[in-house]
Structure formats: structure tokens, C-alpha cells
Amino acid sequence: MQTEKHIVSAFDRDLEGVQATLMKMGGLVEAAILDAALALETRDAELAGRVRAGDAAIDALEEQVQTECARLIALRGPTASDLRTVLSVMRCAANLERCGDYAKNLAKRSLVLNGMMPIEGAPGSIRRMARAVVMLLKDALDAYIARDSVKAQDVRQRDREIDQMYNGLFREFLTHMLEDPRTITPAMHLHFIAKNIERVGDHATGIAEQVIYLVEGRIPDEERPKASGVAALTEASQTAPRSES
Amino acid sequence: MSSETSKMSAQGVQVYYGANHALKDVNVEILDKTVTAFIGPSGCGKSTFLRCLNRMNDTVASARVLGTILLEGEDIYDKRVDPVTLRAKVGMVFQKPNPFPKSIYENVAYGPRIHGLTRNKAELDEVVEQSLRKAALWNEVKDRLDAPGTGLSGGQQQRLCIARAIATSPEVLLMDEPCSALDPIATAQVEELIDELRSQFSVVIVTHSMQQAARVSQRTAFFHLGNLVEYGETGQIFTNPRDPRTESYITGRIG
């Protein structure tokens, strides 16, 4: 990876600038996911409201990243690893923006859930999953800044753990709904939350793939282990009726 | 798009200017109907190598060229090869437009005439017109072919020099920074022309503008300190170069 400085130092400042904005975005997204999960568990409407309002700042940063990158391409004509840096910053910003939307959605659903019958243990499980996914996201962003493709590979592998947590929650919610139809509405909301957190894991993987592209100049094409998808869900949904009989 | 057949082949080319070892063991295949760009910092050997391809270094008393350069399999440094005939086959366009102090017509007619490529005035007229058309200059000068070539604008003069170079139907066209004295519009016209000429010749261009190399070439060779560091498909060189020296140079980190 390139560590030498550019002859034109303003070029370095521009490149560092867009990456700093990206990392700031990452910090906001991580906090939003954790806060939203906490608001869900503690039924804290005020905190949920702050998460919802905070998404605008994430969106604004994403726009700033895209504008700065477009400007950098137009004015500096980046090539090779510089070009890959700019392209990967743009893609990562798009990934983070989606994660911000999921955090906002979680906060919104937590407000709805506040008015409903609680499902024993579910908010705690959601929060554990949220913490795990934020750790994954954080590692992906750390790998980005350190240009560490080994760490990025590790993030890709670990996304499976998030998938497994999602499958576990899916099964759990299904069981609740089968046992007591009154839980259907809250369980459906919780299921969407779990699914959205699982999607955050996919975006962390997307960022990890950008790290590999940045360092090695290629998008990884090896199959990564997946524990989501139709097969896993079929298995998960079969478990519940069996426990019924 | 570009052909994969080799037009010129350089094997183990070394150049000395007196005691100065200017080019060190260069091996490269110039492909047919392809634009090849040579890039690298000043003094890296790219122009020296370009000049080996039509024996322009013969005119430099202290220069010594070792190794083999083949054009269609024939050694161009063979004693039986007449350098003047070679230069009709491997034409050259220079950095500064250098039309002869003659009419536009005579500038283009000069080559075909001294090489005896035409039998009569009608044929010569035809060659002049076709060459000027290929150089995208015909429409601008057809009504004043007797006007002096030096009276044209810089961009037009450079296209006149290109017309002069292609009038002898060369197989390879060498261009040493053909746009560095031109404004952006004339540069774009010459670049468009290079892309059109590629259907008929191999074009080898030395340029200090990496963006120009990226725009016009299909193959790029990067020279540094007399070595050919990396040679590859232009898109690969500019997005994912393999050698760290290429990377440093094209991203603006070493001068």
C-alpha cells in the first residue's frame, strides 16, 4: 500500500479529508445503532426520538462525502490506489448511509413496541445482536483505515455469526407467535428489527470487501460462509412447528 | 479492439551516450494497430528508446545502441538497411511542429517525391489530399494549398507534420510529445486523429501527460532511470499497477 506523500500536498489533504468524513459517519452510525437498541430495551422514547432525528446528520455527511469525492475526481484526476481510495470511500459511505436508515427504523419501531405487550427476553437479544454487529462494523472501518486486508477477511467470515443470531431470533419469534397469537404484532416488529440488523452485517461485509479492493485491487470473489438465505430459514421455520407437536 | 500481433520487437536494447548508460536491457513488443504510450520522468530513457525505433540515434555521434530491434521480423540495425528508407516506414512527429518553409502542398508531397512513391502529378495530388484528409486538415487548407505551411496555427502545423509523416504510408508512427506545444482543442484534435490512425498503423507516443497516455493508448510502458519498469494494458496500469515505482509515478509521488 502507498504510504509516500504526494508531491502536491493538497492532494493528500483532500484524500485524508474524505476519509475523515467517512470515519465520522461511521462513528455516528455505530452510536445510532447502539442507542436505538438501548432505547428498545429500556423503553426510552426520548432516546429513540434522538436517534430518529440524528439520521439527518448521517445523510448530510454521506452527501458531503459524495460531493467531495466528485470534486476530487474532477480536480485531481486520481489514479491507481488513489482512484481506488476515492471509489471505495464513495461505496463505503453508501453502505453506512443504509446502516443509518436501519438504526432510524429500529428507533421508530421501538416507539411502537413501547405501547405493546413485551416479549420476554427479546429486547435483550436484539441488543446483543446490535452490539455484535456494531463490533463488526467497527472492525471493518478499522481495517479500512489501517488498510488491513487480513482483518477485512476476518470481518467477512464473522458476518456468519450475525446471520446465525438472526436465524436464532427468527426461530424464537416464530415460537412466540405460534404459542400466543397476541404476540404476533410485536414479534413481527421485532423480526423486522432483527432482519435489519442482519442487513447491517452485510453492509459491514461490503465495507470489508472495499478494503480488499483498496489493498489488492480486486473485489474478493471467493464464496464466503453464509448462515442466512432460504435454506437456513426453512430449517429455522421447521423447528417451531415441531416443538408444537 | 487492439491487435495482438507484434509489429516491432525490441530485445535486450541498451543505449550508451558516451559513458552514460541511458537505457538498460529493454525488451518490448510493439503491437500492430495499437497505440502504445511511453511514460516516465524526464531523463528516464523513453525518448531515447523511441529514437532507437527509427534509428534517429544514428545522428547522435556519441550514441551506441546494443541489442536487437525487429520490424516485422527484420533487424532494423542490419547493415543492409537504409536508414532513410526505414524512416519512411517508421515515421516520426516531433514535439514542436516543424513544417518545411514551403507550401502546404510541398510539405506533404516531399516524402512521396524523394522516395519515388508516385508516378505522376495526379497520383501525387491524390496522396497529398488523402494524407491531409487522414490528418483531419484537408477541409481547413484545401483552398490554400500553395500558402506557406509556417503560416498555419500551431495545431494546424502539427497536423500538417502528421500528414507529412503519413504521406509515405508508414507502418509505424512515432510521436515525441506531439501535443505539448498545443492548446487543449488542438490537443483533442490530434488525439482524435491518433485514434483514427490506429486502424492503419501502430502508433507509439511519448508523453509527459499521463492523462493523455490514459486517453489515447491501449498499451502503456513506464520507464524509470533507464529501465522499462512495467509494460501492460493501459487500463490496468492506471487502476492497478503491479510495480510500486509505477504506482508512485502515476499517482504523483515521485518526479
Q: Which tens digit of pLDDT belongs to each residue from A62-108?
A: 999 999 999 999 999 999 999 999 999 999 999 999 999 999 999 99
Q: Enumerate the residues of chain B whose CB falls inside 8 A of the CB of residue A84.
A: 239-240
What ipTM is given for this predicted complex? 0.73
Q: Enumerate the residues of chain B whose CB falls inside 8 A of the CB of residue A72.
A: none
CATH of domain B2-250: 3.40.50.300
The amino acid at residue B144 is R
What values do phi and psi take at B173, rounded to 5?
-120, 120
B210–A80 C-beta distance less than 8 A: no
Distance from CA of A80 to the nearest CA of B (A): 4
Does domain A2-236 bear CATH number 1.20.58.220?
yes
Coil vs helix vs strand at B28: strand
B239–A83 C-beta distance less than 8 A: yes
Give the residue-averaged pLDDT of B146-175. 94
pLDDT of residue A3: 66
b/e per residue A16-29 (b: at least 16 CB within 10 A):
eebbebbbebbebb
Give the residue-averaged pLDDT of B84-95. 93
A84–B251 C-beta distance less than 8 A: no
B239–A84 C-beta distance less than 8 A: yes
Q: pTM for the full model?
A: 0.82
A80–B240 C-beta distance less than 8 A: yes
Strand duo B227-233 + B172-176: pairing? unpaired
List chain B domain ranges. 2-250
Q: Quick check: B160 and B97 in contact, CB under 8 A?
A: yes
The amino acid at residue A100 is G
pLDDT, one tens digit per residue, over B189-207 is 889 999 999 999 899 999 9
Of B211, B214, B247, the CB nearest to A81: B247
Of B211, B248, B252, the CB nearest to A8: B252
Of A82, A217, A218, the CB nearest to B251: A82
pLDDT of residue A2: 59
The amino acid at residue B214 is A
pLDDT of residue B4: 81
Residue of B nearest to A87 (CA): B239
Neighbours of B121 (CB within 10 A): 9
Alpha-carbon gap, residue B68 to B27, rounded angstroms: 9
CA dihedral A162, A167, A169, A171 (to 10 degrees): -170
Q: Where are the alpha helices (DSSP H) in B135-181?
A: 138-141, 154-166
Within 8 A by CB and 6+ apart from B15, the residues are: B21, B22, B23, B45, B48, B49, B52, B57, B63, B64, B65, B66
b/e per residue A49-79 (b: at least 16 CB within 10 A):
eebbebbeebeebbebbbebbeebeeebebb
**B236 inside 8 A of chain A by CB:** no
Q: Quick check: B250 and B241 in contact, CB under 8 A?
A: yes
Instruction: For cell 508508414, name the residue.
Output: B170
Within 8 A by CB and 6+ apart from A225, the residues are: A157, A160
Choose among A45, A49, A14: nearest CA to A32: A49
Q: Which three cell numbers, joined as nine digits, stand for B122?
A: 495526379
Q: Enumerate the residues of chain B whose CB falls inside 8 A of the CB of residue A83.
A: 238-239
The amino acid at residue A101 is D
Q: Enumerate the residues of chain A whose CB falls inside 8 A of the CB of residue B240.
A: 80, 84, 217-218
Distance from CA of A19 to the nearest CA of B (A): 18
Alpha-carbon gap, residue B3 to A233, rounded angstroms: 52
Within 8 A by CB and 6+ apart from B72, the residues are: B7, B8, B171
Alpha-carbon gap, residue B203 to B225, rounded angstroms: 24
Alpha-carbon gap, residue A209 to A88, rounded angstroms: 9
Residues of A with CB under 8 A from a CB of B: 2, 4-8, 11, 77-84, 217-218
B253–A7 C-beta distance less than 8 A: yes
Q: Enumerate the residues of chain A whose CB falls inside 8 A of the CB of residue B252.
A: 6-8, 11
CA dihedral B109, B115, B119, B120 (to 10 degrees): 20
pLDDT, one tens digit per residue, over A10-24 is 899 999 999 999 999
Choose among B154, B157, B255, B174: nearest CA to B208: B255
For an interface test with B, give the residue of A72, A81, A84 to mutate (most B CBs within 10 A).
A81
For an interface test with B, give the residue of A5, A15, A79 to mutate (most B CBs within 10 A).
A79
A216-225, B41-50, B104-113, B116-125: which range is least confident on average?
A216-225
